[in-house]
Amino acid sequence: MLKQQLNFKLSQKLSPQQIQLMKMIQLPTQAFEQRISQELEENPALEGGQEESDDFDDEFSNDEYDDNYDEGNEVIETDINVDDYLSDDEVPSYKLSANNYSADDEERQMPYAAGTSFTQHLMQQLNTYRLDEEEEEIAQFLVGSVDESGYIRREIQDIVDDLAFTQNVYTTEDKVEKVLKVVQELDPAGVAARDLQECLLIQLERKEQTPSVALAVAIIDDSFDHFSKKHYKKLIQKFDITEDQLRDAIHEIEGLNPKPGGTYSGNTRMAEHVVPDFAIKIVDGELELTLNGRNAPELHVSHDYTNMLKGYKESKEKSKAQKDAVMFIKQKLDAAKWFIDAIKQRQQTLFVTMNSIMHHQEEYFLSGDERNLKPMILKDIADKINMDVSTVSRVANSKYVDTPYGTKLIKEFFSESMKNDQGEDVSTKEIKKILEITISEENKRKPLTDDKLAKILLEKGYPIARRTIAKYREQLDLPVARLRKEI
């Protein structure tokens, strides 16, 4: 049995415009510029640059568009008020802007060198070797298997199988091993190694064979596990050497490159340039915040589109085609007006959020000492500026600020809080910095264990558990005491 009934339901939904605004807030400066370029291409009613000085009377009103064109059941709504889309300030915007550059000035950009890839660099060297046809195909395949760190991280048998399936080259493991030795003669030294041990041995064998180098080769070849775990006493006993001899051998090993591919200057990895979204300066002992000007582009509605509307208004006979055109213009003007408003709202959101962060961390920005960072979570800032936590997160996760102490990712200023021995809230960033300083000042012959570090921090007024010390140490990318040991 069918039944009809009314239900009242309260729901909250984000409009497409709100979703787009959230996405725009998340964009860093360079991506934001690309978004503006895309919008300028897609919307002919939106124009960049300073608004032209030609003033025109804007006499459109809703009264002019009360007549609707009716053809069958089709109703075309053409109500539009251009005042909603254009600024009616008495002073044109171009009179409020300073332009110290000639219109003929070129926009100069830093050129990038094309260079050659790491693989091409190896291939060029390979051409200097005399190899038969089969060896050359194997060698080229091996070079193609070298990763960006300079290693071939594959088993020889897998390479033999791949040569058969993909290159139609049927060979043996011994032949591939033979050609691999040739590839390992290429520069930089250590390239095409299958693991770190082999990489270090290749580099040591190219050096002048002094007693220290010979001992280093023996250590890497016969006792790599003891060396990697820094079991120095076992190495001294095994090779019957003095501590000074071991120190000299370790010095030779420490001078080697564990990632030979990473040093190639002509690799094709894209250069990453961080463009700060904000800048903080200290002026007369006070903090001054500015937003990167590239986040505040000059955009305005096209005058050509308003002239089209003016022509429609003045025409006595209004055809369906004209009204369809007016509807199209209205949609583009709506989109242009919203985009300009969204940019202004984005600017306001970014500035208000960063300003609140700056004042919360004022001690840090004045001193540059990370130990002055206060505990700060997203909710702290969201409550101050009366915005949602997700909005603050979008600003913090992808934006950079130029400070007197370098360019920093904003999310690095956020941290959890812990209690010190006085019951005061201190930032975990402060504790990590003290931990890092303590480890850097330790006696490397007898590095501090996590238990000892916990006791030292307790003496400094930070009651931290040993497992928390271990967690912070790993986050700081610092190894355990045994691996920090030096002789």
Number of domains the chain contains: 3
**Environment class of 43 (CB within 10 Å of its CB; exposed 0-12, middle 13-18, buried 19+):** middle
- Closest listed residue to residue 323, CA positions, set 62, 70, 45, 59: 70
Residue 11 inside a domain? The answer is no
In the chain (487 residues long), the average pLDDT of successive 10-residue segments reads 71 62 78 83 75 42 37 39 44 44 44 63 83 83 84 86 82 85 85 86 86 87 84 85 86 85 58 78 89 80 71 66 75 81 86 91 86 84 89 85 88 78 71 84 83 84 84 83 75
pLDDT value of position 55: 42
* In a shared domain, residues 453 and 393: no
Interior/surface letters 30-39, b for 16+ CB within 10 angstroms, e for the rest: eebeebbeeb
* In a shared domain, residues 203 and 155: yes
Amino acid at 63: D
pLDDT value of position 116: 65
- Closest listed residue to residue 48, CA positions, set 33, 27, 58, 26: 33
pLDDT value of position 438: 86
Residue 315 CB coordination number (10 Å): 10
pLDDT value of position 16: 65
pLDDT value of position 364: 87
Contacting residues for 273 by C-beta, under 8 A, at least 6 apart: 30
Residue 359 inside a domain? The answer is yes
* In a shared domain, residues 286 and 410: yes
SS (H, E, C) 45-106: CEEECCCCCCCCCCCCCHHHHCCCEEECCEEECCCCCHHHCCCCCCCCHHHHCCCCCCCCCC
CA pair distance 178, 139, nearest whole angstrom: 10
CATH assignment at residue 431: 1.10.10.60
Q: Tell which of 246, 263, 280 closes a domain.
A: 263
* In a shared domain, residues 372 and 257: no
CA pair distance 313, 327, nearest whole angstrom: 13
Rounded to 10 deg, the angle between the 211-222 and 243-254 helix axes is 80
Amino acid at 41: E
* In a shared domain, residues 410 and 422: no
Q: If you write DSSP's letter for every residue of 138-195 in order, what string do you get?
A: HHHHHHHT--TTSB--S-HHHHHHHHHHHS-----HHHHHHHHHHHTTSSSTTTTBSS
* In a shared domain, residues 475 and 421: yes
Do you know the residue count of the chain? 487
The sign of the CA dihedral 357, 362, 365, 369 is negative
pLDDT value of position 215: 87
Domain extent at residue 249 = 118-263
Residue 109 inside a domain? The answer is no
* In a shared domain, residues 258 and 285: no
Q: Tell which of 384, 414, 444 closes a domain.
A: 414
Q: What is the pTM assigned to this prediction? A: 0.54
pLDDT tens string 34-73: 888 888 888 787 777 665 544 433 333 333 333 443 433 3
* In a shared domain, residues 286 and 382: yes
- Closest listed residue to residue 87, CA positions, set 252, 356, 306: 306
CA pair distance 21, 413, nearest whole angstrom: 25
Identify whether the C-beta of residue 60 lies closer than 8 Å to the C-beta of residue 82.
Answer: yes
Cα dihedral 470/473/475/479 (nearest 10): -100
Strands 46-48 and 69-71 turn out to be: unpaired
DSSP 371: G
Q: Tell which of 263, 295, 311 closes a domain.
A: 263
pLDDT value of position 11: 57
Residue 95 inside a domain? The answer is no
* In a shared domain, residues 352 and 434: no
pLDDT value of position 14: 53
pLDDT value of position 95: 42
The pLDDT mean for the chain works out to: 76
Residue 96 inside a domain? The answer is no
pLDDT value of position 147: 84
pLDDT value of position 315: 65
pLDDT tens string 150-159: 888 888 888 8
* In a shared domain, residues 310 and 330: yes
Q: If you write DSSP's letter for every residue of 387-451 in order, what string do you get?
A: --HHHHHHHHHH-EEEETTEEEEGGGG-B-EEE-TTS-EEEHHHHHHHHHHHHHTS-TTSPPPHH
Write out the two tokens for 275: 């463009």
Q: If you write DSSP's letter for every residue of 197-253 in order, what string do you get?
A: HHHHHHHHHHS---HHHHHHHHHHHH-HHHHHTT-HHHHHHHHT--HHHHHHHHHHH
Contacting residues for 462 by C-beta, under 8 A, at least 6 apart: 418, 420, 421, 426, 431, 434
* In a shared domain, residues 452 and 341: no
Residue 45 inside a domain? The answer is yes
CA pair distance 201, 256, nearest whole angstrom: 10
Give CB contacts under 8 A, 24+ apart, made by 186-190: 186/122, 186/125, 186/126, 186/143, 187/125, 188/150, 188/257, 188/260, 188/261, 188/263, 188/264, 189/257, 189/260, 190/150, 190/256, 190/257, 190/260
* In a shared domain, residues 390 and 435: no
CA pair distance 221, 212, nearest whole angstrom: 14
CA pair distance 118, 259, nearest whole angstrom: 13
pLDDT value of position 355: 92
CA pair distance 414, 183, nearest whole angstrom: 48
Give CB contacts under 8 A, 24+ apart, made by 153-156: 153/194, 154/194, 156/180
CA pair distance 11, 42, nearest whole angstrom: 33
